[in-house]
Amino acid sequence: MDGKTLARIGAIVFVAVAITATAIEMNRKDVSPDAFATQGRPVTAQDPLAAELLRCSEIGEAGARDPGCLKAWAENRRRFLGQPAPVSSPAPVAPTTLFPSAPASADPVHKDAAPAELTGPAQPEVR
């Protein structure tokens, strides 16, 4: 066999393999691995933060003004950077009255208190 014939047979085999591989790939069902990962449970069951981030992404530009989105983004940033969780301070205690049995009318602050006259912002004194 001479070299030309051998090259032609090699090219024909190569084209036949390429066509066969293309036909097999076209007949496969399109199954993406991401579909299996999220199919089992909804986003809210996975992580409440993920659900909030999804909500924020869906509301678009209004998310920049939403306090819930700002908190979610801060928490996501904290988790991503590997920073420790902030130490939560104890809840503030509501002020108690000194004399809880005294009637409300005996309160000196509110008794006969006239509202202050509002004239506008104070003007600085010019010298």
Q: Is residue 75 part of a domain?
A: yes
Q: How far apart are CA 82 and CA 102, in angstroms?
A: 53
Q: How far apart are CA 75 and CA 101, in angstroms?
A: 45
Q: Is residue 96 part of a domain?
A: no
Q: Is residue 74 part of a domain?
A: yes
Q: How far apart are CA 86 and CA 110, in angstroms?
A: 40
Phi, psi of 12 (to 5 degrees): -65, -40
Q: Is residue 3 part of a domain?
A: no
Q: Is residue 62 part of a domain?
A: yes
User: Which positions ≥6 away from 75 have C-beta within 8 Å?
Assistant: 49
- In a structure prediction context, what are the per-residue pLDDT tens digits for the chain, which is 127 residues long? 788 999 999 999 999 999 999 999 998 877 666 655 555 555 556 788 898 999 999 998 988 899 999 999 999 999 889 888 777 766 666 666 666 676 656 555 555 555 555 555 566 666 6
Q: Is residue 17 part of a domain?
A: no
Q: How far apart are CA 54 and CA 58, in angstroms?
A: 6
Q: Is residue 100 part of a domain?
A: no
Number of domains in the chain: 1
Q: Is residue 72 part of a domain?
A: yes
Can you give the residue range of the structural domain that contains 69? 42-83
